[in-house]
Structure 1
Amino acid sequence: MMIKTIAVCFISGFLLSCVPAQQEERITVAVRAEPDAVNPVTHASAFSRIVCTGILPRLLESEWDSLQGRVVYKPFLAKSYSFSDDRRVLTYHLRSDFFWEDGERVTAHDIRFTFQMIAHPDVASTKKEHIQYLTDALGSVDRSVIALNDSTIEFHFTRAYPLQIFDTNLQPGFLPFHILKDVKPSELRRHTINTMPLSGSYYDITIWKKQDYIVLERNTRSPYQAASRQIVFRIIPEYTTRLTALKTGDVDVMYPIMPQDVADLRKTNPELRIEAMRSRYYDYVGWQNIDQHIYHASSGKTIQPHPLFGSKYVRRALTMAIHRQEIVDGFMGEFGRVAITPISPVFRWAANDTLSPLPYEPEESKRLLAQEGWIDRDGDGIVEKNGRAFSFELYYDAGNDRRQFAALIVQRDLKKIGIRCDVRTAETNVFYDDELNKKYDAFISGIGVPLMIDPTSEWSSDLKKNPYNDISYQNPNVDALIEAGKRVNNPEEAAPMWRALQAILHEDQPATFLYWRDELVGYNQKIKNSRTSLLGEIDKFWLWEKVTN
């Protein structure tokens, strides 16, 4: 077994004297934090996934078709694939010229092992959704993911569904079976492979100086060659320092760029360009639809409407009272747009273009509230019902300037219709834990939508199985549409179901969908072949080239 070592350069500042590439062969990227793990099974951060895609083999290469609004696939490790007649068996045929860094061939056994690790409870993988139709009653994939030989892998599904290729492709890549086969699953997260990964794709990690930089060198053994010899990720936690490095040319690429900095960059730094990943992230005000105190006290057995937000007419009133366009204009400008539903407009085939955002109409909000019994009877400026004032706390994650800006506008606008909203913050990890545990009556959070539509985790009524349904929305018609949408063979065949689902959510307003926002990347004009798309902010960085003339 090869024990990989990565060079560590104990140097002050950012001196790449131990890195032999010429300046024109090196592209330097400023990032906020280093990967939590370069492991396709356990990683948590988006940047970890990005690094995985550059060094680990995967079955197919993904491309984003912006005209159709969908993912298309091209051969990579797999030279071909086919379905059985009933589409319950998917077979991939692999190339024989992919090799791990230690010279061992990448085989179907690596793929099978990776899915076994995802399924094992001791691993606590972040990729469990990829195996929902591959596991048996015991949660195992041993009989459903089969390596017929080194070059052939079969996936046996419990049913056909639209995401079979997406789920099996496992875009971050696969693990080397020959290195990890004797490692206990419970020890995978602590194994050295998380920070000293064995590469088998475009790049090798050759240097990783903790909290400073990571150097990726072109893997000359790969059948697909990276365009640039070397990619360097510089870890610079402070935003202003990263931005300065981009302006001065110390780095070639930086993300994310704040929308409010774009105008100045365009004016003072013509050597830079800004690219946007459009409408993959949205923020929303989550209104707790059920009385979470009764729910918790009964261990989830008793569900009653929330005393403030249980009525869809109240929730519609809240949405119509909030000037969402003002939030977009004030913070995101051209890089944001008011949201209508949780299905991104970039999914052109699935978006319901017959729907429009509920308008900003405070007077209609007041009418709806009065219709529901919320009236200011004592003249104190706050509406009440059955002796209870309409007053609540609105939480967001501390340090999030965008959500702070939105929260203050929400607070101001709701005051105009007689609702008291006190803004509160919580430390990021605490905030997300409390959000998922339904501790808040109202909060501002956000979601990055997956590349393939599956609304189950956020909108299915089974609250115990779907903790990401953080507002406890329940609608049997939505459940039926989700199940119908997951039973078609081709993703586009689910379009009528997703459009109908959007119409119901638009009517019920279980949350106030605030805005879709773009993620912005700054590039030096010398960097060519950038592919910022819905697949990722710096997707396909192995295609980048630096042109110096």
Structure 2
Amino acid sequence: MDKKIIIGGIVVLLIVIVGAFAFMGNSHNDGDPTHLVVAAHSNIKEPKAGFNPLTGWGCGHQNYNPLVQSCLFKTDSNGTIVPDVATDYSISDDGKTWTVNLRNDIKFSDNSTLNAEDVAFTFNTAKDTESDLDLTNLANATAVNDTCVQFNLVEPRSTFIYDLRYVGIVPSDTYNNNTYGENPIGSGPYVLDHWDKGQQAIFKINDNYYGQKPYFTQITMLFPEESTWLELAKSGDVDVVPVATSSLNQTVDGYQFVEKSAGRAQGVSLPYLEDTGIVTNDSYKVGNNVTADKAIREALNVGINRTEIVNSVFSGHATPEYTGVDTRDYANNESKLVDGNITEAKKILADGGWTDTNGDGIVEKNGTKASFDLYYPPDYLDRQSLSTMFAEQAKEIGIEVKLVGADWDTIYANMYSSAALMQQTSPDPYKSIYQQYHSKEMDGFYMNPNLYNNTMSDALMEKAMSTNDMDQANSLWAQSALVNGQGWGPAGDAPWVWIANYDYNYFIKDGINIGNQPYGLGNDILINICEWTRA
């Protein structure tokens, strides 16, 4: 074996070991059973702006329990959104005004009373603060009285409940955007005791908390690199450790392997438009003459074997994904296709005019070879492995997929003209359906990366957004996936090849009981922290 390869391997191993021991050098476990040590999953990054919900802590691109702050609503063990700071709410007939009534017995950790002015301030400030949180549809929030807030929307939006669910409330009297992140005041079950940037944050119990008092009086949250997770678990020094893709077959003495579904859908976005020479406002190329052909997209959806891929890449800790929202209440099973059928996939290509004329195994049509680039982030082993297997299986049906590992800026710059391996986790259909598929989102933003558009799907999505009936909204979201043989589902226009629903997995120390958690929100392992105990 080449000495350079051996030395390179040793260097990588040393980096992993040194990284792990950087966290393990000073024991985080002080022996107190009511103290919990948690290694944060990579979806919960150490917040550069601090523990401020108005700049993205707990809400925005990823949603999770902010610990320090309370939200108007919460999710119960059945997955239902129920009141927390709020007591109830109502929606006007036109869907543009949401009125929320509040509890009158909540105090912030600094002993000031939480009232409607704080709630209105929080949302109005969040709207104008640069972050991943999208509140552009909120015209304003107004305190009607101390226990009533009115939210005025620009357009009706049935999904506004998700914004109310995840934005943590901050005190209007003392909030300072420059200092709040490091010294947050909230009404959640914990307060930030101190933050060692780059290492850990320590949260202690909030004596003013109005809800169920947590068993764990202190939480130490570590922010380690994914490469160190397994070593952290083996150290026995950390109570909760995420499981990396490379460790899915591992067991650790003294720990339970806990698997949580999160609707984490991973798949390949296929450019929907032909290459006509147009570019985006940022001069990014638009369109791909191979993937714009429906026969290519349909053949890929039918030909790949999702079960084989998820079993190989995720060792059984994932399930096949077909629509990107298979596990949600608004899924449409009729929009799925039966996959793993190479013969049928080849027939679809042949019927669409794609044939192998030169015997190289790759089909062509009118002189165009069925070949395209697939961009993926190489730092994620799961996505790299998915991309590799997708390319291998595509070749079996006569389609060449050329893999390109790249950073996110490069992926975003090429996603309108090349395939891209991406994922989505949000339970909010505004994010997982509307922003992914509505023609209004063809704006150069990273949502709707393939620039899909269909007027019939658009109309159903718009109806889903404007109704005040959540059951009706879910039905309309589902219908938009397949309408008259079209729609964004694989049995329709198939702008995506969704592949896997990858669970969130954790090593949790024996004796810790995490209670009854809602299905489909496994990315937020601390969602019900107040129910956790240790035997």
TM-score by length of 2: 0.84
Provide the residue aligned with 2:173 in structure 1: 178
1:204 Cα shift?
Answer: 0.7
Letter in 2 for 1:493: Q
- Distance in structure 2 (CA, Å) of the matches to 1:363 and 1:179: 66
1:126 Cα shift?
Answer: 2.1
- Distance in structure 1 (CA, Å) of the matches to 2:59 and 2:89: 28
CA-based RMSD of the aligned residues comes to 3.1
CA contact (8 A) 2:193 2:202 kept: yes
- Distance in structure 1 (CA, Å) of the matches to 2:191 and 2:405: 41
Task: Give the SS at the match of 1:408.
Answer: helix
- Distance in structure 1 (CA, Å) of the matches to 2:90 and 2:136: 19
- 1:139-182 CA distances to partner (integer Å, 9 max, x unpaired)? xx2xxx11123322122345654334333x242402221123xx
CA contact (8 A) 1:530 1:543 kept: no
1:151-300 paired onto structure 2 within 5 Å: 151-157=147-153, 160-167=156-163, 169-180=164-175, 188=177, 191-224=178-211, 225-239=213-227, 241-255=228-242, 257-258=243-244, 261-265=247-251, 269=253, 271-291=254-274, 294-296=277-279
Worse-matched range after superposition: 207-216 or 499-508:
499-508
> Is 2:504 the partner of 1:519?
yes
**Cα 1:478–1:343 shift into 2, 3 Å:** same
**Cα 1:420–1:542 shift into 2, 3 Å:** closer
Q: Which of 469, 472, 478 pairs up with 1:490?
A: 469
- Distance in structure 2 (CA, Å) of the matches to 1:262 and 1:468: 30
Q: Which of 311, 316, 320 pairs up with 2:293?
A: 311
**Cα 1:359–1:22 shift into 2, 3 Å:** closer
Q: Which of 87, 90, 96 pairs up with 2:98?
A: 90
> Is 2:434 the partner of 1:456?
yes
Q: Which of 376, 381, 390 pairs up with 1:396?
A: 376
Provide the residue aligned with 1:138 in structure 2: none
Letter in 1 for 2:424: I
> Is 2:437 the partner of 1:442?
no
Provide the residue aligned with 2:4 in structure 1: none
Q: Which of 13, 18, 39 pairs up with 2:25?
A: 13
1:85 Cα shift?
Answer: 6.2
Q: Which of 322, 331, 340 pairs up with 1:351?
A: 331
Provide the residue aligned with 1:508 in structure 2: 493
**Cα 1:46–1:323 shift into 2, 3 Å:** farther
Q: Which of 361, 379, 385 pairs up with 1:405?
A: 385
**Cα 1:316–1:228 shift into 2, 3 Å:** same
CA contact (8 A) 2:190 2:206 kept: yes
Q: Which of 387, 392, 395 pairs up with 1:415?
A: 395
- Distance in structure 2 (CA, Å) of the matches to 1:338 and 1:216: 38
TM-score by length of 1: 0.82
**Cα 1:465–1:477 shift into 2, 3 Å:** farther
1:447 Cα shift?
Answer: 1.3
Identity %: 23
- Distance in structure 1 (CA, Å) of the matches to 2:161 and 2:346: 49
Provide the residue aligned with 1:125 in structure 2: 131
1:24-103 paired onto structure 2 within 5 Å: 24-31=33-40, 32=42, 33-36=45-48, 37-43=50-56, 53-65=66-78, 70-74=79-83, 76-83=84-91, 88-103=96-111
Task: Give the SS at the match of 2:278.
Answer: helix
5+ long unaligned stretches in structure 2 = 1-22
> Is 2:321 the partner of 1:339?
yes
1:298 Cα shift?
Answer: 8.8
- Distance in structure 2 (CA, Å) of the matches to 1:286 and 1:192: 40
**Cα 1:292–1:409 shift into 2, 3 Å:** same
Q: How many residues align?
A: 498
- 1:377-399 CA distances to partner (integer Å, 9 max, x unpaired)? 23333322222222222110012
- Distance in structure 2 (CA, Å) of the matches to 1:467 and 1:50: 18
Provide the residue aligned with 1:323 in structure 2: 305
- Distance in structure 2 (CA, Å) of the matches to 1:499 and 1:148: 36
